[in-house]
């Protein structure tokens, strides 16, 4: 496969993976598409549950089309990218009077059983023969759509080369200009109709305005040109009246502040096509034509779009109401999820007590007090009003005093706080149950009449045998005291 065949799919080759990656869909290839009704709704209409449910109940058909680019850059990092579709139709070409489209404004596609086509043009050749015969392309069935940005599993089996794609574009452009000329000729002919000479017959009012045939593809070209959008590129018509009018309008608009807005919109369209912010027809693609059992008429495609448009109009009055309700529900759910944590943290800060996830409040030691023997753990001093519970229990006497009993008396309203109850329960424990934080047992202070047994024995020995040399005398040291 040559590089020409892969273009314009813009394959990317990774150094770690030599497999060539292709965009889905691939420009210049035949693809099967299906409308995604929910994604095609505007962002506001998707707020209405009834509109979403109605779209989900829709039955969407599959259509075959030639994928072409619409002039915008392909941005892989964007959620969506846009394409121009030329729908494949089967049978004899037909005319569309309201759009001034004639049967000869078409291009046959191989295979064909009739070598003489009404257009007199040579058939379009694909890299692989299509499963259907006597098909054609026409400007009567095309559209600009968007699809999610994704990678394909491989190259498209049915595609056309670059030269054939260029020929199709030129032929379609000629047909569009021809239809535009026919439309303008009909409009000017009707405007030149003279009023009736008989005064008894009322004169026609607004003949030119009322005679203009509305068209979804050919009307309002001036508005589309002045406000570029993705859909304005669907026909690519050349508006002569607009161009002639534009030259005289340039000087008048030179001093306006917003004269650069159309240019900015065009730059935003070509270089930054933020399609996820727009309400646009969204489709799903596949290049496997074997999944199509019947070639559906593109007329059904436009009927599906009309249904989606009707659903969106019916949902418009309820958009603001449903959006406000959704935001209210989200706020309520957030409050319910955070209520427990929020209330616990609020109580901790109101009572200035540590929560289960916080450490006990401590105070940094001065430099002279922080020095300790290597390996020994130093407990920092805490303020008296914020002394840790364990240390307060150790320093407290074994029996509660009157002051302690006064502190432990429950308040008149609501009972004692939890931290008061914990202190009271710890005060009732025996002294030997209080241990140091590091695991070593802490001996409580004893009064002189309850001196520890070991120290009492040493002092008793010293008193009973005054002539026995002391430890200082044995070591040759003098006791200054």
Number of folded domains in the chain?
Answer: 2
Please indicate, yes or no, whether residues 299 and 376 belong to a single structural domain of this protein.
Answer: no
338-375 b/e (C-beta count within 10 Å ≥ 16 → b):
eeeeeeeeeeeeeeeeeeeeeeeeeeeeeeeeeeeeee
- Burial class for 422, CB neighbours closer than 10 Å (0-12, 13-18, 19+): middle
Averaged pLDDT, 26-49: 92
Check whether 372 has a pLDDT greater than 70: no
Q: What's the pLDDT score for residue 106? A: 92
Residues near 259 by beta carbon (within 8 Å), at least 6 away in sequence: 253
Q: What's the chain's length in residues?
A: 481
Per the domain annotation, does 176 fall within a domain? yes
Q: Both 166 and 313 in a single domain? A: yes
Residue 122 within any structural domain of the chain: yes
Are 382 and 290 found together in one domain? no
Q: Tell me the residue range of the domain where 380 lies.
A: 367-461
State residue 57's pLDDT score: 94
Pair 7, 98 in one domain? yes
- In tens, the pLDDT along 466-479 reads 555 554 444 444 44
pLDDT digits (tens, 9 = 90+) for 57-95: 999 999 999 999 877 778 888 888 889 999 999 988 998
Statement to judge: residues 290 and 387 lie in one domain: no
Cβ–Cβ under 8 Å, residues 283 and 35: yes
Tell whether 155 is covered by a domain.
yes
> Is residue 475 assigned to a domain?
no
Same-domain pairing of 281 and 407: no
Non-local CB neighbours of 211 within 8 Å, separated by 6+ positions = 186, 187, 190, 191
Instruction: Please tell me whether the overall predicted TM-score, pTM, comes out greater than 0.75 for this model.
Output: no
Same-domain status, 220 and 139: yes
Task: Decide if 445 is inside a domain.
Answer: yes
Looking at the domain assignment, is residue 343 inside a domain? Answer: no
Average pLDDT over residues 295-322: 93
In the predicted model, is pLDDT for residue 132 greater than 80? Answer: yes
Kindly indicate the confidence band of residue 226, based on its pLDDT and cuts at 50, 70 and 90: very low
pLDDT in the model for residue 334: 83
Question: What whole-number distance in Å separates Cα of residue 94 and Cα of residue 209?
Answer: 27
Q: Supply the pLDDT for residue 113.
A: 78
Q: How far apart are CA 300 and CA 297, in angstroms?
A: 6
Query: What does the pLDDT read at residue 141?
Result: 92
Q: 443 and 380 in one domain?
A: yes
Are 423 and 294 found together in one domain? no
Q: What is the pLDDT of residues 258-298, one digit of tens each?
A: 555 556 655 555 555 566 566 789 999 999 998 898 899 99
Could you tell me if 92 and 226 lie in one domain?
Answer: yes
What DSSP letter does each residue of 196-242 carry, written as one string?
PS-TTSPPPSSHHHHHPPP-TTTS-HHHHHHS--GGGGTT----HHH
Mean pLDDT on 344-352: 70
> Does 207 reside within a domain?
no
Please list, residue by residue across 82-121, b when 16 or more beta carbons sit within 10 angstroms of its beta carbon and e when fewer do: bbbbbbbbeeebeebeebbbbbebbbbbeeeeeeebebee
Q: Which residue has the tokens 């002919």?
A: 189
Average pLDDT for residues 168-174, to the nearest whole number? 92
pLDDT at 15 over 50: no
Phi then psi dihedrals of residue 159, to 5 deg: -155, 170
> Which position has the token pair 């693809």?
31
């Amino acid at each position: 496969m040559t590089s020409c065949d892969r273009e314009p799919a813009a394959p990317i080759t990774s150094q770690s993976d030599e497999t060539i990656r292709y965009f889905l869909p691939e420009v210049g290839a035949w693809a099967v598409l299906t409308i995604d009704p929910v994604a095609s709704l505007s962002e506001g209409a998707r707020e209405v549950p009834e509109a979403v449910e109605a779209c989900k109940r829709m039955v969407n058909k599959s259509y075959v089309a030639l994928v072409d680019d619409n002039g915008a850059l392909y941005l892989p990092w964007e959620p969506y990218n846009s394409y121009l579709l030329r729908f494949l139709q089967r049978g004899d070409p037909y005319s569309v009077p309201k759009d001034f489209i004639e049967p000869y404004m078409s291009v046959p596609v191989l295979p064909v059983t009739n070598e003489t086509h009404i257009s007199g043009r040579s058939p379009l050749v694909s890299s692989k023969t299509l499963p259907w015969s006597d098909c054609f392309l026409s400007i009567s069935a095309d559209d600009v759509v968007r699809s999610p940005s994704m990678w394909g599993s491989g190259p498209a089996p049915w595609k056309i080369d670059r030269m054939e794609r260029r020929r199709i574009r030129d032929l379609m452009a000629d047909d569009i200009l021809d239809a535009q000329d026919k439309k303008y000729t009909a409009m000017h002919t009707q405007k030149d109709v003279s009023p009736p000479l008989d005064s008894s017959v009322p004169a026609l009012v607004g003949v030119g305005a009322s005679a203009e045939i509305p068209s979804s593809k050919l009307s309002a070209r001036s508005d589309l040109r002045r406000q570029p959008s993705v859909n304005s590129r669907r026909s690519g018509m050349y508006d002569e009246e607009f161009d002639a009018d534009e030259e005289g309008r340039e000087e008048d608009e030179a001093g306006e502040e917003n004269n650069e807005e159309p240019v900015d919109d065009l730059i935003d369209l070509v270089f930054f096509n933020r399609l996820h912010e727009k309400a646009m027809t969204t489709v799903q693609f596949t290049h496997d034509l074997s999944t199509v059992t019947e070639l559906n008429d593109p007329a059904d495609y436009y009927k599906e779009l009309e249904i989606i448009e009707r659903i969106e109009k019916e949902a418009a009055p309820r958009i603001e109401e449903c959006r406000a309700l959704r935001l209210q529900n989200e706020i309520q759910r957030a409050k319910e999820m955070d209520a427990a944590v929020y209330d616990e943290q609020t109580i901790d800060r109101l009572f200035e007590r540590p929560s289960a996830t916080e450490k006990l409040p401590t105070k940094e030691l001065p430099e002279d007090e922080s020095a300790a023997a290597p390996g020994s753990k130093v407990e920092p001093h805490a303020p008296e009003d914020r002394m840790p519970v364990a240390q307060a229990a150790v320093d407290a006497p074994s029996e509660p005093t009157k002051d302690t009993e006064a502190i432990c008396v429950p308040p008149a309203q609501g009972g004692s706080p939890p931290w008061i109850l914990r202190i009271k329960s710890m005060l009732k424990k025996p002294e030997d149950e209080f241990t140091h934080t590091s695991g070593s047992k802490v001996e409580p202070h004893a009064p002189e009449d309850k001196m520890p047994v070991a120290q009492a024995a040493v002092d008793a020995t010293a008193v009973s045998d005054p002539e026995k040399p002391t430890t200082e005398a044995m070591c040759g040291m003098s006791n200054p005291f």
